[in-house]
Amino acid sequence: MTNRIYIRSAAQISVQKPLCEDWMTDPAPCSGPYLRSQDPDFKQFLNPLQARRMGLILKRAIAVSLTALKDAGIECPDAIFTGTGLGCMENTENFLSAMCRDGEEMLPPTYFMMSTHNTISSAVAILLRCHGQNCTYSQKDISFESALLDAFLQLQFGGVSNTLVGSHDETTPDSYDLLEGAGYFGEGVTAAEASSAFVLSASPCPSTGSGTDFVTDSSTHGVMQDDQPLGLWFDNARQPSKKPLCELADVRILHDPKNLESIVNEYNASRVIRSSDYFKLFGKCFSTSGLGAYEAAMRIAKGLDKDILVVNDAGEDVGLVYLKGLCGDC
């Protein structure tokens, strides 16, 4: 049984500047009732034919996944675990609208195929040609923690050497109206979207499992070309970081959080980030806790904190993610 699990890399698309850490020094304001994410140029990751077939949430999931894998130096992970509260809402709405408009007999199958919750994880796996374990968790606000816990246990018990963990949700105008009417967002909280990806490893070293070291070629800037093999795109990407961002020390899900504060105190963390804290930076959706973990990992990697406990206490269940700085591992 492995004692230590590492977050080798992480990437995000949100209301903040995407696929970088620049936003940490000058975060964009997160205010108002509803904000969409700042999207990168998806041509870096998908050729035009691929991009035309995908909705925004799939493009975002692929962008953050490829960025995190590239930074970790892993071309194909051993397993993929994804958390999503609502899945592909845009495609779900298209499917339901077509059913209302045309009836059940003339429905195009593509809308349904692209609307299921596991479409996100499947799309990433198909692009990466990953034939390993592929699981999607849809547990409302703790979807991310559920996926992260599965990956954590798989690595702890040696089932895999590295994993890709993602957390993705989109908030369309129609879904915003429905969730706002149901009181999901709460008073003074901005509705938003979230897409984050993490590469976990049982080793702090750059090359583990299926991973390979990549060579930088600044002439192509990592732009995906038509009919370009994915491996060549990775070869043209920047080199991975030499050490992990931090250690993933613990993941817990509390279904009866009566003693939450005493459990939080047991960790004795130098910083505690709660859902109300990361809502101020990223807004709220079912996957925002992944962005809270992303912020914590980056703060530790930059030496701002030695350890952080991320407390997702936004729903009925509570997710806890405890991150620690490296102790001479690399």
Residue 221: predicted pLDDT: 39
Q: What is the pTM of this model?
A: 0.90
Q: Please report the beta strands in the chain, taking only residues with DSSP state E, as ranges in sequence order.
A: 5-13, 79-83, 133-137, 162-169, 194-201, 246-254, 271-274, 307-312, 318-324
CA angle 246, 249, 250 (to 5 degrees): 135
- Indicate the Cα dihedral angle 257, 258, 263, 264, nearest 10°: 70
Sign of the C-alpha dihedral computed for residues 123, 126, 127 and 132 taken in this order: positive
Residue 233: predicted pLDDT: 56
Q: Tens-digit pLDDT profile for the chain (330 aa)?
A: 557 999 999 999 999 999 999 999 999 999 999 999 999 999 999 999 888 889 999 999 999 999 999 999 999 999 999 999 999 998 887 888 888 888 887 777 777 777 889 999 999 999 999 999 999 999 999 999 999 999 999 999 998 999 999 999 999 999 999 999 999 999 999 999 999 999 999 988 755 444 444 433 333 335 555 555 565 556 655 555 569 999 999 999 999 889 999 999 999 999 999 999 999 999 999 999 999 999 999 999 999 999 999 999 999 999 999 999 998 655
The structural domains of the chain, ordered by start, are 5-245 (3.40.47.10)
Q: What gap in Å lies between CA 271 and CA 141, rounded to an integer?
A: 22
Residue 108: predicted pLDDT: 74
Bridge pairing between strands 246-254 and 194-201: unpaired
Taking only Cα atoms into account, the Rg of the chain, rounded to an integer number of angstroms, comes to 19
